[in-house]
Structure 1
Amino acid sequence: MKLAGLKTAENAHDDSIWAAAWIPARENRPALLLTGSLDETVRLWHTDELSPAAPPSEGHALGVVSVAAHPGGAVAASASLDSFIRVFDVESNSSIATLEAPPSEVWNMQFDPKGTILAVAGGSSASVKLWDTSTWQLIDSLVIPRQEGSRPPDRAGGGRFVLSVAWSPDGRRLACGSMDGSISVFDVHRAKFLHHLEGHFMPVRSLVYSPLDSRVLFSACDDTHVHMFDAEGKSLVASMSGHASWVLSVDASPDGTAIATGSSDRTVRLWDLGMRASVQTLTTHADQVWSVAFRPPGGAVARAGRLASVSDDKSIALYDYS
């Protein structure tokens, strides 16, 4: 397996780019790349040449820290430090809904595999909010319990501040990463907390399940490690090291054989899951890499695997994955 640099767009935004997600292909168009920046805009990009696919989308009053795409490819969402989530139609850029959260409550969000629920990391509320995508009403709030033996939280939720969320590929489980390093796993349909996954002691910035196995979960943490968990058996399968600083983002390849990570050490790394080791380091960016994202399979012109990364240096990089 290998990543090969394809194209880099310098100054793709006017400020740091903190978020990236792929909008799946539809019958009338290929997949698109969605990026969000501290310049308060969201932008769409064609997948091969990194040319703008639409004018910048405005509507936030502060920086955009998370973006998410509905699996159907017609709808996307952006979350900002202004405490609002904007849900919009990809083709027309028209707003579908505006979801309100208290200040700085949204740091990460993700649609479930069927596209019926949007899960939103609830920040200092120490919870994950679940929104129904047919009505855009709040349907549940999953509260992160305190781990046994941990220090009591302060009034704002303390270390339970939720930074990241990930759905299992079967849509039955939701994993949530917190500031104190804990990872909580929920049975979504029963709205029931199942257990914590242990191994980190610093903020868990990003989570992703293997696309091939709903038991396997990967975590990216400020402790410079990437962990591989058996999320059902509650066990740490592997702890992978290589980054020199915080690991800010992790994503799994569609074929399930690799993961990619982005770090504040300014690198993107590719990891072989058979070897459970880093096999490639890319130094495309000049500042910390906030997000990495593999393009989902599908679409007539999707000739090869594709990875995107975005950075504080305002650039977007595309890589072929083979």
Structure 2
Amino acid sequence: MGGKTARGMKRRDILAGLAWTAGGLIAAGGRPARADLVGHGAMVNAVAVSPDGRRLLSASWDYTVRLWDLDRQVELKVLDGHAASVNAVLFLPGGNQALSGSWDQSIIHWDLETGREIARLAGHVNSVSGLALSRDARLLASASWDRTARLWDAASATPLRSFEGHSANVMQVAFAMEDAQLVTASYDQTVRLWQVASGKELAALRGHRASVNAVAVTPDGRTALTGSTDGAIKRWDLAAQQEIAGLPGHRGFVTSLAVSPDGRQALSGGGDKLMRLWGLQTGRQLRQFAGHEKPVWSVAFTPDGRRAVSGGYDMVIKIWSLATGQSLPPKT
């Protein structure tokens, strides 16, 4: 992910590898590690679990989206349609369709049964770095390195409005406050709140001392968690538009966040090669998960809240038991 599009660049140049600095990503080497789900040829940027908890989607710097059987931990399909790194992925309700966002500036709507492209959403002029769906699945929000977030009609793929105000790359976006607001995280070190209906900026939340890489919102829509290159995870009261408290523990940058379906726990991934589980009522770390050989780049809960998924810079995906902290073997 850089400041320009990857169209026309050779795939081997992209797959040479990446490393994180306070300013972004730079070239680095790397080899795949031994892990549960292996198949991607580069770092795993994003993971998403299907609504029924049976399948997994992963997005990678190898330009592909992959569909997996979560229990058997086997690859089902490779969705190959992007012309650059795929940075974000999510399932649509029902689990038979998906969306992915890429450094090629596009968002692809996929049919997971056939593996074919249904539609392509165009409008961003730089890397699409994050995607979020409203609770009723009628609205799609996208975050981009063109310094904007955009709102789309999810059914028709029609662009509705743009949210402009950040002074640097927008990394992730989430719906909040009963889908009346958007929360965006940016390299400009701010977290911003927007009115969905008008596109108006409501607040700029300041407190991070480096790029804000990740945002997740609790199911009630009232609390946001943000993770930064400064190593901090902050919690924000969105109604009061102020910081509540942090979740201290990571050593180095924080890459990814997820909130459990019941809103009681959170997952974070970081440059310390660990995924961490937090209790949101106490703000305490409940468990840490060690097994990746390089930074943990993406995290997700399963819908039942009993398992977690992590994707890493080491090109692999792991499935974890939240109760034991152990990596789970395939079910036979």
Q: TM-score range by the shorter chain?
A: 0.7 to 0.9
Provide the secondary structure at the position in 2 that maps to 1:73.
coil
Shift in alpha-carbon separation, 1:71–1:204, aligned structure 2, 3 A: farther
Normalization by structure 1: what TM-score? 0.85
Provide the secondary structure at the position in 2 that maps to 1:170.
coil
Structure 1 residues 41-66: Cα deviation after superposition (integer angstroms, max 9, x where no partner): 111111222112x2211111212111
- 2:98, 2:112 within 8 Å by CA — same for their partners in 1? yes
- Return the match for 2:49 from 16, 19, 22: 22
Q: How much has 1:167 moved relative to structure 2? A: 1.1
Counterparts of 1:49 and 1:232, CA distance in 2: 42
Q: How much has 1:96 moved relative to structure 2? A: 1.3
Structure 1 residues 188-221: Cα deviation after superposition (integer angstroms, max 9, x where no partner): 123322112221121111111111x221111111
Matches within 5 A, 1:98-247: 98-124=120-146, 126-144=147-165, 158=167, 160-168=168-176, 170-211=178-219, 213-247=220-254
Q: Hey, what does 1:12 align to over in structure 2?
A: 39
1:260 paired with 2:267, answer yes
- 1:169, 1:210 within 8 Å by CA — same for their partners in 2? no
243-252 or 268-277, larger mean C-alpha shift: 268-277
Q: Hey, what does 2:16 align to over in structure 1?
A: none
- 2:58, 2:66 within 8 Å by CA — same for their partners in 1? yes
Q: How much has 1:321 moved relative to structure 2? A: 2.6
Provide the secondary structure at the position in 2 that maps to 1:233.
coil
- 1:71, 1:114 within 8 Å by CA — same for their partners in 2? no
Q: Which consecutive residues of structure 1, in runs of 5 or more, have no partner in the other structure?
A: 1-6, 146-157, 298-303
- 1:12, 1:316 within 8 Å by CA — same for their partners in 2? no
271-280 or 247-256, larger mean C-alpha shift: 271-280
- Return the match for 1:91 from 109, 113, 119: 113
Q: Hey, what does 1:321 align to over in structure 2?
A: 322
Provide the secondary structure at the position in 2 that maps to 1:115.
coil
- 2:78, 2:115 within 8 Å by CA — same for their partners in 1? no
Alpha-carbon RMSD across the aligned residues, in angstroms, is 1.8
Q: How much has 1:103 moved relative to structure 2? A: 4.9
**Count of aligned positions:** 290
Structure 1 residues 148-186: Cα deviation after superposition (integer angstroms, max 9, x where no partner): xxxxxxxxxx4x321110112722221001112111111
Which residue identity is paired with 1:225?
A: A
- 1:201, 1:223 within 8 Å by CA — same for their partners in 2? yes
Which residue identity is paired with 2:126?
A: S
Which residue identity is paired with 1:20?
A: V
Q: Which consecutive residues of structure 2, in runs of 5 or more, have no partner in the other structure?
A: 1-33, 324-332
